[in-house]
Amino acid sequence: MVTARLIYAIVSILLEEAAIVVVVLMGLPQLGIEMPVGALIAVMVAFAVFSVLLYRAGSQALRRKPVALSVMVGSKGKVVSPLAPIGFIKIKDELWEAESVGSKISIGKEVMVVEQDGLKLTVRLHDIGKLKTTQ
């Protein structure tokens, strides 16, 4: 599957590069816009580098294993946007929408998941002294 995806990526990049060449060499002159060949080469190289970086990032994301939804209750995470009461938390390098049980929780605080509704989590401030959770 990786090979087919790689071939598809290479073919699509080549087609996009060809489209850039056609637009620059045929379309722009009709509008009275001239582009030096050096600038065209620079644009094509920059686009090719961007495409390779995008392909690598996408491949890396596809290889990551998703966090199982059934084990979220009881998980600990860190607040990345204020929960007032709805915001976002990070659990195992994944971003989750969350709602706080009580008051506003600020960025950087550790929270614990107490309930789950699909992809939305309900959390409370994690207090090391209190290990009791509601489910």
Is 70 within 8 Å of 86 (Cβ atoms)? Answer: no
Residue 135 has pLDDT above 50, yes or no: no
As a residue count, the chain comes to 135
Residue 115 has pLDDT above 80, yes or no: yes
Q: Which residue has the higher pLDDT, 71 or 11?
A: 11
Fold adopted by 69-125: OB fold (Dihydrolipoamide Acetyltransferase, E2P) (2.40.50)
Element (H, E) at 110: strand 110-117
CA distance 106 to 103: 10
Alpha helix ranges (H) inside 23-122: 28-30, 37-63
The pLDDT score that the predictor gives to residue 53 is 92
Which sequence spans correspond to the domains of the chain?
2-63, 69-125
Flag whether the pTM goes above 0.75.
Answer: no
The pLDDT score that the predictor gives to residue 103 is 82
E strand intervals along the chain: 76-81, 86-91, 94-100, 110-117, 120-125
What's the whole-number mean pLDDT along residues 22-49? Answer: 90
